[in-house]
Structure 1
Amino acid sequence: MGQQDLTIQELVNKIERGEIRLPEMQRQYVWQQTRVRDLLDSLYRGYPSGTILTWETDEDVATRDFAMEQEASASGSFQLLLDGQQRLTSLSAILRGEPVEVRGRKKPIDILFNLEHPYDLQIITEVFEDDENEDDTDADPDAPEANEDEMAMRANRMAFVVHSNKLAALPNWVSVTRIFKEDNDLAIIQEAGISDLNDPRFKKYSDRLKRLKDIAKYSYRVHILDRAKSYEEVTEIFVRVNSLGAKLRSSDLALAQITARWRKSLEIFQEFEQECIAQGFNLSLAIHLKNLVVFATGQSRFKTVGKLPLDKLKTSWEQAKAGMDYALNFLRENVDIDSPALLSSPFIVITLAAYGHHKNYTLTPEEAKELRYWVLVANAKARYSRGSSETFLDQDLGAIQKGAGVQGLLQSLRTQVGRLDILASDLENRNSRSAYFKSMFMAFKKAEAKDWRDQLVISLKHSGSQHSLQFHHLFPQAVLKKQNKETREINDICNLSFISGHTNRKISDKEPAKYLPDYIEKVGEDELKKQCIPLDRSLWELDRYDDFLRERRKLIAEHLNEYIGHDRVDEEAAE
């Protein structure tokens, strides 16, 4: 194995010229901007940042594109990047000022640098844990939200932050990309308010800008696997290297093992992924791979995927596609769910696919009704978003294989969460990330709740800034903050309704006692009832906020139970 030392700038140039490419086994670019922020901060401090692993080969190996534009290699030869993709893609985007493509969308990586960061670098950065679970399936939907004032205080102690308009407007915060693109720092320093060379800040800012630009000179040790190694051996190295540091998710390692056995299968997977996106279901490749493994092995974990024979992989993929098609059709037509944004977990799709396949896609009307009920209850109760999501998924797959039917799925859910109906107390202290919030939206949409101005039925698919859906604080945030209400109380889902952006801006920070009567006069009380807004006007007064929340919780819980069909299904099961 050879090695060489290359600066970040040299590596970025090689990527731009197409002299470094990605093998098919590599995952897509997935880093959140907070990870890029922390990488820059580590390099700025002079901390070590790992190594790079590449492979030179004469084999005809399938490649995949970087998340940014590349030229074709002038010589026709290139090295395949096995370890370091996330770092080098991020740094390329920053130094070149090029957007990255993430799940079909191009967006810039925009990090700000604090010219006035504290001298004590030990307290600059607080590393916040990013949620990189498999498609957020283990994320806590009711985790507390960050307070804006706290975030501002943290930013002042940091050297790098993800771009925000509020900070970008301040003279001491500068775009990192701009710093790398500017040949002369004088304009940046002048815009920061320095007009006199004798200003002590001039030298401080100049030194800090130079120190930041020197990141491009940071040297990575590049290890190069020799040409004699086979694709299978390189795949094994890739899996081992990335397993040791838990740098890749299990689905990424599984993809490497699958593509080693099934060459150019990534194109096949991505083609079906795009077909699902065209139907409105932008599910990650990880979910499609997990669905494949479920159909191949009967369970959800990727542990045995490397041992599956090629024929089994191909047959299971065809079955998995048929199951996925059924699941998406059922969600869209039977449950009125037309976007994964309305699901508390995409694992619900996998369970539906497995159930349809097990029943040979032949259900009685009663089974279809029960299955709809299970989807809505499992979604509202966040079946796969608490505890070990894969354990719960495997429980449900086992129940399906044993022929326990929908009642078996419901029994597993009862064991996990207790009551299947929704109580007013279940909604207490929930925020907009809660699964109940998604259920609220679906229930209100089913009731044909409309915007109070344009009379469009609420929908995630409205186009245009005026009509795009927003959630509106019935008691405005600014008003409640003046009453010293905590963030948790302000953002309680029972203080939220669904209206258009134009209507939201029109209401601004008016109290409900002032604006709701006007809308009742224009559109009638029914439009408020459809979103479970109490009609007792005394509850719209600011000093009755807590009473308002309690009353609306009761109304929403009743409406959700009716929408889900809890009483109807339970009565039929009892008979």
Structure 2
Amino acid sequence: MTTAISTFDSTKMGLLDLLKDIKIGKTQLPDFQRGWVWDDDRIKNLLASVSLAFPIGSILLLETGNDSTRFKPRPVEGVTDVPTEPERLILDGQQRLTSLFQSLLSEKPVLTHDIRKKEIKRHYFINVFEAIKNDSDREDAIISLPEDLKLRNFRGEVTADYSTLELQCKAGLLYLPYIFNNGIWEWQNTFMTQDTISQAEKWDTWGKINSEIIQRFQQYQFPVITLKKETKKEAVCLVFEKVNTGGVTLTVFELLTATYAAEDFDLRNDWFSQKRKFKNHPQLGNLQNDDYLAAITLLSTYEAHKQDNTKGVSCKRRDILRLSLSNYKKYAEMISNGFITASKFLMSQNFYKAKDIPYRTQLIPLAAIFSALGDEAEQDTIKQYISQWYWCGVLGELYGSANETRFAKDLPEVLSWIEGKDEPTTVKDCNFSPNRLHTLRTRNSAAYKGVYALLMHEGCMDFRTGDTIGLSTFYDENIDIHHIFPVKYCNDNEIAESDYNSIINKSPLSYKTNRIIGGNAPSIYLEKLQKSTRITEDRMNKILHSHLIDPATLKSNDFSLFFSKRKESLLSLISKAIGKKIESPQLNNDLIFTNQDGGTN
């Protein structure tokens, strides 16, 4: 009889014990591990799972002490002043353990990044009132707050202040590190002094907080597999490669592909088949398979909601994973046609390339809306509604984050709006600040791309050819957005870079026209263009007006007056697109804009 030989041990460890070992350096990383990369949303999702005592996978560790299997160790990010020699190294679970350590034990703001890869510092809380609700979505209860614990709008104005324990308790926000230190008792005492609910309700609420949140964190157990120190280096590397391939979690597309495979359906091949239909629609060039699944899920849940209004409309990750094969097959073709109709709509709004689409994600509700409407979407009045909703999303810059929640509102609300009911949330939320024009400088901004397309939609003409910039000229003339007052001229005349690089000083022009403009003063390049192309004075004025440029200010090289007048004109253009007045002391109080019925207000 042969004795079984095992190279590993399998057990469970408490979350707090694991994090303490990380803090004192007993558990570290091998130096070949890549850096910690998780963003704010992934951290919140992880914390939500732990708060529900859901499994989040096992941890793979390696015992140290074998001289032939030595790796240079380094502490988990956020840990300082630790012994140089750890007892264990993390082979798999770095992202999860680092996220949990920084958000639960370090008590320092977590340096992470948002969906746009911008670095942010965050503290993590749980909204206990939301968490203990029946049928609540725990992910919505995990809150991340800036370093100073104050929320601000795009103007920098404070909209919510949670900077004191009293304010946190009043809002029901429990700082997660308190769960593992004495701060939890101070939080409880402060919470019990709040006068918003009765004493009996406080004790009942605290009991639920303790059993449904605190104890789940404190008693959370991790499955831990530990490779023995006798394991050879070659075997350790092989195991590491097996468990860390790609270094990222499976996407919903990959998970759903595996699910459908059990029913003898190849999702990947079907996606490639659908994608081929998009080949002649450049606006869809960046569309991802997860976007496609999200749109199908959105439409599927909407149709289910119409049959049973107790069912919600949603396309979150969990909803996509619940998408049945039968519903996928039922709605896939409709959504494919919806995306194609969406691309034609974007073409009509003068978006010609995928890189110029303000929000790729806004294609998801747009395709679902067109799919639900079918042939009705061809009606002019309906297209006006969709256009206003779309431009409110773009120019209000509303699709930067938390998109799934907005999508779930967009589809039913836009369809109801078309039937004569209330405006969609996206239209109501849209707000464009006049000063935002000053800060739109690159294609990184959705509104920057939006203004670029609006100018073409308005019928702007090339300075040199006089041709209206549209589909027929966009590719042939290599149209792009260029400076009106050239960079060299602005630098030579000490015009602020923040002004001359803003969208106010830019417009769509052909490559050849921009070459002729060069670094000359406007008065010089306009004279050169008129002479070389025999454009009359009146015709040139008409061309300039098509770009919302006051000819006199450009010909006199008066940047300040040009800037002020064009800003007013661009704000009027934006106001027309979103169907809303833009409050600005520079704008006439009787500003006219087109409404959904084709009239004016």
Question: Normalization by structure 1: what TM-score?
Answer: 0.52
Instruction: Measure, in 2, the Cα distance between the counterparts of 1:308 and 1:400.
Output: 23
Whether the 8 Å contact between 1:539 and 1:547 is mirrored in structure 2 is no
User: Structure 1 residues 304 and 349, CA, compared in 2 at 3 Å: closer, same or farther?
Assistant: closer
Residue 527 of structure 1 corresponds to 543
Q: Counterparts in 2 of 1:363-382, with a 5 A limit? A: 365-382=380-397
Whether the 8 Å contact between 2:341 and 2:370 is mirrored in structure 1 is yes
Whether the 8 Å contact between 2:381 and 2:596 is mirrored in structure 1 is no
Aligned pair 1:352/2:378, yes or no? no
Residue 469 of structure 1 corresponds to 479
Whether the 8 Å contact between 1:252 and 1:286 is mirrored in structure 2 is no
Instruction: Measure, in 2, the Cα distance between the counterparts of 1:343 and 1:450.
Output: 21
Whether the 8 Å contact between 1:428 and 1:492 is mirrored in structure 2 is yes
Residue 461 of structure 2 corresponds to 450
Residue 265 of structure 1 corresponds to 267
Report how far residue 459 of structure 1 moved: 4.6
Q: Counterparts in 2 of 1:302-341, with a 5 A limit? A: 302-332=317-347, 335-341=349-355
Instruction: Measure, in 1, the Cα distance between the counterparts of 2:523 and 2:567.
Output: 19
Cα displacement string for residues 244-279 of structure 1 (whole angstroms, at most 9, x for unaligned residues): x65565555555555565642212112221211322
Instruction: Measure, in 2, the Cα distance between the counterparts of 1:451 and 1:396.
Output: 37
Residue 297 of structure 1 corresponds to 301
Q: Counterparts in 2 of 1:52-201, with a 5 A limit? A: none
Report how far residue 410 of structure 1 moved: 3.7
Instruction: Measure, in 2, the Cα distance between the counterparts of 1:330 and 1:474.
Output: 29
User: Structure 1 residues 412 and 47, CA, compared in 2 at 3 Å: closer, same or farther?
Assistant: same
Q: Counterparts in 2 of 1:390-469, with a 5 A limit? A: 390-400=404-414, 403-405=416-418, 410-418=423-431, 424-433=434-443, 434-459=445-470, 467-469=477-479
Report how far residue 395 of structure 1 moved: 1.9
Report how far residue 529 of structure 1 moved: 0.8
Residue 287 of structure 1 corresponds to 291
Instruction: Measure, in 2, the Cα distance between the counterparts of 1:130 and 1:460.
Output: 35
Q: Tell me, what secondary structure is at the counterpart of 2:481? A: strand
Report how far residue 461 of structure 1 moved: 7.3
Residue 536 of structure 1 corresponds to 552
Residue 502 of structure 2 corresponds to 492
User: Structure 1 residues 309 and 439, CA, compared in 2 at 3 Å: closer, same or farther?
Assistant: closer
Instruction: Measure, in 2, the Cα distance between the counterparts of 1:336 and 1:531.
Output: 15
| Letter aligned with residue 439 of structure 2 | N
Aligned pair 1:515/2:560, yes or no? no
Instruction: Measure, in 2, the Cα distance between the counterparts of 1:406 and 1:342.
Output: 31
Aligned pair 1:383/2:398, yes or no? yes
Larger Rg: 2
Report how far residue 505 of structure 1 moved: 1.8
Match of 2:32 among 27, 44, 48: 48
Instruction: Measure, in 2, the Cα distance between the counterparts of 1:480 and 1:533.
Output: 17
Q: Tell me, what secondary structure is at the counterpart of 2:561? A: helix
- Return 5+ residue gaps in structure 1 as ranges: 1-45, 52-126, 134-141, 144-217, 226-236
| Letter aligned with residue 281 of structure 2 | Q
Whether the 8 Å contact between 2:339 and 2:367 is mirrored in structure 1 is yes
RMSD of the alignment, in Å?
4.4
Cα displacement string for residues 170-227 of structure 1 (whole angstroms, at most 9, x for unaligned residues): xxxxxxxxxxxxxxxxxxxxxxxxxxxxxxxxxxxxxxxxxxxxxxxx99923399xx
Match of 1:480 among 457, 468, 490: 490
Instruction: Measure, in 1, the Cα distance between the counterparts of 2:564 and 2:403.
Output: 32
Residue 149 of structure 2 corresponds to none
Instruction: Measure, in 2, the Cα distance between the counterparts of 1:409 and 1:219.
Output: 63
Cα displacement string for residues 81-134 of structure 1 (whole angstroms, at most 9, x for unaligned residues): xxxxxxxxxxxxxxxxxxxxxxxxxxxxxxxxxxxxxxxxxxxxxx9979667x
Report how far residue 488 of structure 1 moved: 2.8
Residue 566 of structure 2 corresponds to 552
Instruction: Measure, in 2, the Cα distance between the counterparts of 1:545 and 1:290.
Output: 47
User: Structure 1 residues 329 and 501, CA, compared in 2 at 3 Å: closer, same or farther?
Assistant: closer
Report how far residue 406 of structure 1 moved: 7.1
Residue 182 of structure 2 corresponds to none
Whether the 8 Å contact between 1:344 and 1:384 is mirrored in structure 2 is no
| Letter aligned with residue 300 of structure 2 | A
| Letter aligned with residue 524 of structure 2 | K
Instruction: Measure, in 2, the Cα distance between the counterparts of 1:535 and 1:432.
Output: 25
Instruction: Measure, in 2, the Cα distance between the counterparts of 1:417 and 1:487.
Output: 28
Aligned pair 1:568/2:594, yes or no? yes
Residue 280 of structure 2 corresponds to 278
Instruction: Measure, in 1, the Cα distance between the counterparts of 2:599 and 2:464.
Output: 43
Instruction: Measure, in 2, the Cα distance between the counterparts of 1:529 and 1:372.
Output: 24
Report how far residue 47 of structure 1 moved: 4.2
Whether the 8 Å contact between 2:460 and 2:546 is mirrored in structure 1 is yes
Instruction: Measure, in 1, the Cα distance between the counterparts of 2:237 and 2:544.
Output: 63
Q: Counterparts in 2 of 1:182-221, with a 5 A limit? A: 221=237
Instruction: Measure, in 1, the Cα distance between the counterparts of 2:281 and 2:421.
Output: 30
Whether the 8 Å contact between 1:494 and 1:552 is mirrored in structure 2 is yes
User: Structure 1 residues 512 and 409, CA, compared in 2 at 3 Å: closer, same or farther?
Assistant: farther
Q: Percent identity at matched positions?
A: 17
User: Structure 1 residues 274 and 513, CA, compared in 2 at 3 Å: closer, same or farther?
Assistant: same
Q: Tell me, what secondary structure is at the counterpart of 1:497? A: strand
Cα displacement string for residues 467-519 of structure 1 (whole angstroms, at most 9, x for unaligned residues): 31232212222333345555432310011122121221222111223212443
Report how far residue 528 of structure 1 moved: 0.9
Question: Normalization by structure 2: what TM-score?
Answer: 0.50
Q: Tell me, what secondary structure is at the counterpart of 1:222? A: helix
User: Structure 1 residues 441 and 305, CA, compared in 2 at 3 Å: closer, same or farther?
Assistant: closer
| Letter aligned with residue 430 of structure 2 | V
Aligned pair 1:501/2:511, yes or no? yes
Instruction: Measure, in 2, the Cα distance between the counterparts of 1:510 and 1:426.
Output: 28
Instruction: Measure, in 2, the Cα distance between the counterparts of 1:252 and 1:484.
Output: 54
Instruction: Measure, in 2, the Cα distance between the counterparts of 1:411 and 1:552.
Output: 31
Q: Tell me, what secondary structure is at the counterpart of 2:509? A: strand
Instruction: Measure, in 1, the Cα distance between the counterparts of 2:472 and 2:448.
Output: 17
Whether the 8 Å contact between 1:351 and 1:393 is mirrored in structure 2 is yes
Whether the 8 Å contact between 1:262 and 1:310 is mirrored in structure 2 is no
Report how far residue 313 of structure 1 moved: 2.4
Q: Tell me, what secondary structure is at the counterpart of 1:223? A: helix
User: Structure 1 residues 49 and 430, CA, compared in 2 at 3 Å: closer, same or farther?
Assistant: same
User: Structure 1 residues 251 and 557, CA, compared in 2 at 3 Å: closer, same or farther?
Assistant: farther
Report how far residue 551 of structure 1 moved: 1.3
Q: Tell me, what secondary structure is at the counterpart of 1:348? A: helix
Whether the 8 Å contact between 1:370 and 1:569 is mirrored in structure 2 is no
Residue 343 of structure 1 corresponds to 357
Instruction: Measure, in 1, the Cα distance between the counterparts of 2:448 and 2:356.
Output: 9
Residue 11 of structure 2 corresponds to none
Whether the 8 Å contact between 2:394 and 2:450 is mirrored in structure 1 is yes
| Letter aligned with residue 390 of structure 2 | V
Instruction: Measure, in 1, the Cα distance between the counterparts of 2:520 and 2:112.
Output: 35
User: Structure 1 residues 497 and 220, CA, compared in 2 at 3 Å: closer, same or farther?
Assistant: farther
Cα displacement string for residues 24-49 of structure 1 (whole angstroms, at most 9, x for unaligned residues): xxxxxxxxxxxxxxxxxxxxxx9414
